[in-house]
Amino acid sequence: MKDGFVKVCAATPKIQVADCQFNGLVIKKMIEDCEAQNVKLIVFPELCITGYTCSDLFLQDTLIREAYETLEDIKEFTADKDILAVVGLPIMIDNKLYNIAAVLHHGSILGMVPKSNIPNYSEFYEARHFLKGNDRVHDVNGIPFGTNILFCCKNLPSFVLGLEICEDVWVSIPPSCKHALAGATVIANLSASDEITGKDIYRRQLIQGQSGRLTCAYIYADAGEGESSTDLVFAAHNLIAENGVIVKESRRFHNESIISEIDLGRLVSERRRMSTFEVDLESDLYTKVSFSFELVDTPLTRFYTSTPFVPSKKDERDRRCEEILNIQAMGLKKRLEHTNCQCAVLGISGGLDSTLALLVTVRAFDMLHIPRNKIMSITMPCFGTTDRTYQNAITLAKELGTTLKEIEIKDAVEIHFRDIEQDMDKHDITFENGQARERTQVLMDIANKNNGMVIGTGDMSELALGWATYNGDHMSMYGVNASVPKTLVRYLVLYYAETMEEGELKDVLFDILDTPVSPELLPPKDGKIAQKTEDIVGPYELHDFFLYYIMRFGYEPKKVYRLAKHAFANQYDDATIAKWLCTFYRRFFSQQFKRSCLPDGPKVGSVALSPRGDLRMPSDASAKAWMRQLEEI
C-alpha cells in the first residue's frame, strides 16, 4: 500500500443456489486466500450469499434468515483479517426486502448499500421481490444503511470506496457518478450479469469508460457458474479497471478471482490536474464511514511497459505513428500558410531527429502542394562528421526530392575559435557548442536569404535533459519534434520506412535507424562515431520512462524508481537505474531555462514541455527536495 498501491480482488465463488451455509464457507475460504496475498479489498458478486437466481425463494423467511446468519458468520470470520470484504445478500429493513452490498472489516459491518435501480424487464424480475434503495442514509441496528455511503480509510486518505450493484452502472446516470464527485476514488460493483453473445464487449467498454470518466478504480465482480441455468447463464466476467484502462480481466465461463494493484496515486494526480473534476468535499448528502488498514508494502504484479510512449502492439503503434505524423505536419502546414512561406530550411545530419523533421516537412509541403524542391536540406560537415552520416544525409535529401546544399563549416568555426582564443585541441563544451551555434547561424541566414523558415529538429527527450546548445540547435522558427520523445522518434521513422517501396530511400532510412545517437561534435575515431549521447547522459529509454511518470502523474522520485525497477527488471540493475534517475532530476531542474524560451511546436501526446502550456516551471527552482529523496534510495 506504500506509494499508493492497493491490492484488490474481484472474486466469483462457485455457489449453490439457496444454500447460504455452503456459500458462506466458499466465501470465507476466498477471503482467507486473498488475505494471505495481501489483498486489501475483495468484492463478491450480487446476492452471492444466496445466489442471484433464487427467484420467488427470496419471499421465504427461511432464506432471508439463513442469509443474515451467514453474513454474521462471515463478519466474525473477518475479525482478525486486515481486509475489506464486500458481499451481496437480501435483507429485510422495515418489512421490505432489499438487494444490498454489505461491507465487512475486522469483525464489523461498516455499512449496507442497497441497489438503486431494480430491473423489471425481459429475463429480470427483481422488482417482484426487491425495493430500490434511496439516497437517505439511516441507522439500522447501529449500521448505516443507504446508497450515499462512502468508506474512507483514515491512514490512506486516497482510498475512498463507493458501491453500486449491477444494473446501477447500466443506467444513464449511475450512482457511481455521484460517489466519485463526493470523493470516491474506488468503485466496487457487485454484479450478476447474464451472458448473451456479444454482451461481454459492451460490458468491458462500459466499465472501462466509467473508470475513465470518473478517474477512478473500478472493481466489477460478476456471478458465474453455480447460479441456476433455468433460463440464463452467468459467465463470471470479472474486471478491474483504472482510469480508462482494463488492468485485469478474467476468462469468461471460469469462476475465478482476479487480483491486481490499483494505483491511487495515479488517480489522485489525475484529479488534481483536472479543473473540470469538481469534488464536493463539503457535501452533507453522504455518510462517511472510517476504517483503517495496516499499511504494508504491496508487491507489484501488474504490467508496466518500459516504453510508455510507444504502444506494444504493432497495429496500434502504426496507427499512433500515422496520427502523430499528421499532427506534426498539420502544425507545420498551418504555420507555413499563416506566414505565406514557400521555403523551409533544415539542417540534416543523417541522424534520427533531423530525418523525422525532414519527413514531416515533406508531408506538410505535399499537403500544401508546394514543390519539394522548395525544402532546403542543408548538410554542414565539421570536425565530428563521419562518412556514414554524411552519405546518409545526402541520400535522404535527394531521394525525398528536396534541394540539397552542402556547406563546410570547419573554416568558419576555426576563425571563430581564433577570435575567442579557443584552443583547437581542447575538446570542451566551447568546442562542441561553437559548432552547433555556427550551424544554427547558417540555417537562419539561409532562411532569411530565401524568405524561408528554419524547421527545428530537436526532440522532447533532449529538451527534458537540456541536451541542446542554447541558441544553437535549441532554436528554430518551428519545432516539429518538440513533443516527440526519443524512443518514439525511432518508431516514427521505422513506420515511415516500412511504408516505402523497396529502394534507396527505404535502405537509407533503415541505415539511419541503425546509426548510434550522436551530436557528432567530437572528431571520429578510426572513421567511426566517437561521441555517443547515451554513454554521456544515459539510456533514452530510461529517461523517457522517467519523463512520462514525472510529468504525466507527478510521482515522487522513490515511486518513479520503484516503477522503473519493475519495468526494467531484466535490463538494468538497481544501481544503474538510480544513477540515471539522479542525472535526470539534476539536468531537468538545471536546464529549465532552455525550455522557458522554446520555439512553437505541436503537442502530439499527453506529455509536453512547452512553457506556454504543459510546463510552467521557474528556471531557478531548487531541486533539493527531490535530490534528498534520491539520496535515500
pLDDT in tens, 401-416: 999 999 999 999 999 9
Average pLDDT over residues 605-614: 94
- Point out the catalytic residue in the list 20, 40, 46, 248: 46
Q: Are the CB atoms for 223 and 48 separated by under 8 Å? A: yes
Tell me how long the chain is.
633
pLDDT digits (tens, 9 = 90+) for 444-456: 999 999 999 999 9
Is 34 considered catalytic here? Answer: no
The residue from 115, 178, 559, 594 that is catalytic is 115
Tens digits of per-residue pLDDT, 415-445?
999 999 999 999 999 999 999 999 999 999 9
Given pLDDT bands bounded at 50, 70 and 90, which one contains residue 521? low
Check pLDDT > 70 for residue 623. Answer: yes
Amino acid at 354: S
**Domain residue spans of the chain:** 2-291, 314-407+437-631
User: Given this model, what pLDDT does residue 274 score?
Assistant: 87
Which pLDDT does position 516 carry in this prediction? Answer: 82
Q: Please give the average per-residue pLDDT across 564-569, as a whole number.
A: 97
Is residue 199 a contact partner of residue 224, using CB atoms and an 8 Å limit? no
Does 166 participate in catalysis according to the annotation?
yes
**pLDDT tens-digit readout, 357-383:** 999 999 999 999 999 999 999 999 999
Q: Of these residues, 152, 153, 166, 382, which one is catalytic?
A: 166
HEC string of 580-616 equals: HHHHHHHHHHHCHHHHCCCCCCCCCCCCCCCCCCCCC
pLDDT tens for each residue of 342-359: 999 999 999 999 999 999
Q: What CA–CA distances, in Å, run from 431 to 2, 386, 426, 525?
A: 48, 17, 7, 17
Mean of pLDDT over the chain = 94
- For residue 234, give the nearest of 17, 58, 20, 455 by alpha carbon: 17
pLDDT of residue 534: 84
CATH class given for the domain over 2-291: alpha beta
Q: What are phi and psi of 215, to 5 degrees?
A: 50, 60
User: Does the active-site annotation cover 46?
Assistant: yes
277-296 pLDDT, tens digit each: 777 755 678 999 999 999 88
Residue 298 parent element (H or E): none
Q: Cβ(262)–Cβ(242) under 8 Å?
A: yes
**Residue 120 binned pLDDT confidence (cut-offs 50, 70, 90):** confident
All three cell numbers of 389? 552520416
Cβ–Cβ under 8 Å, residues 302 and 261? yes
Strand partners of residue 120: 125
pLDDT at 123: 61
Structural domain 314-407+437-631, CATH architecture: 3-Layer(aba) Sandwich (3.40)
Global pTM? 0.91
Q: Is 315 exposed, middle or buried (0-12, 13-18, 19+ CB in 10 A)?
A: exposed
Instruction: Give the per-residue pLDDT at 369.
Output: 98
